[in-house]
Amino acid sequence: MEIEEQLMRVGLTEYESKVLLSIIKNSESSAKDISIDSGVPYSRIYDTINGLLKKDWIKKKEGRPSLFILGDINERIEEYLTENKKIAETIKLNLENLSNKNRYELLPTINVERNWKNFYKKFEELSNESKELTCVFGFFNFIAFDKINSILKNKYFPKNLFVKSEILNKELIKELKNIPPLFNIRVLPFTPKVLLFLFNSKDILIVLPPLSENNDSEEGEIKFLEIRNFEIGKILDKMIQIALVESRPLEDIQE
């Protein structure tokens, strides 16, 4: 019967469903009568009835013989709906958390590290996992520029490269023009004096300039920040869209 299948879906066994329907039909019945009417074997009738009593679907009237009547069915169904709503909400939340886990974190993860060697290692690690990259050069270090270019060689994903206009010179322009065409190179007047790299709109590396005046060596002590945060990445993405409009292509710059 369809109603039996529906009752089984709310947590009753097949025998419990048959017994409950028999009690509903007859208002009150003894165990023997319920067994005959429902078709549940008499050897199984008492454990089936006890199961329904524990779940509060039926009640017992003391007497000789004991009779069994219907409990508060509406309350049981409401309990079932409430419990399953909680389960559904928990599943939804867990799925959302699982889906978002690798995309963003509400609180930023920030690490501070030192020296170029550690920076190159982290840069290569992130670039190996990247599908898109934006670079911002607010100061120029020839060795670092060459090393970064070497790491990105044969990585065929879209790349934006913004360069601060005041650091442009003949040497840098020449280097930029030798970069593979996968780079969209733009020149900006307002880039801060840092190296900034945004991977996949969430992983950010920011290199602070060395304290020494010689930016072209790797001897100067540098600090770099590693920031992992999708929300900050989205803000930077919007700033990049503005920068693409406000900047000039490298081809417009005279050597």
The answer to whether residues 221 and 211 touch, using CB atoms and an 8 Å cutoff, is yes
For 218-251, the pLDDT digits (tens) are 555 788 999 887 778 888 888 888 888 888 887 7
The answer to whether residues 71 and 78 touch, using CB atoms and an 8 Å cutoff, is no
What pLDDT, on a 0 to 100 scale, did the predictor assign at position 123?
A: 94
What pLDDT, on a 0 to 100 scale, did the predictor assign at position 1?
A: 59
| Residue at 254: amino acid letter | Q
The pTM of this model reads 0.54
Using alpha carbons, list the distances in angstroms from residue 137 to 196, 213, 246: 7, 17, 16
139, 141, 145, 148 alpha-carbon torsion, rounded to 10° = -90
Confidence of residue 3 (pLDDT cuts 50, 70, 90): confident
Residues near 74 by beta carbon (within 8 Å), at least 6 away in sequence: none
**Distance, CA of 142 to CA of 172 (rounded, Å):** 8
Using alpha carbons, list the distances in angstroms from residue 15 to 20, 32, 38, 71: 9, 14, 8, 17
Domains of the chain plus CATH, in order, are 2-74 (1.10.10.10), 109-252 (3.30.870.10)
**Distance, CA of 156 to CA of 125 (rounded, Å):** 16
Mean pLDDT of the chain: 83
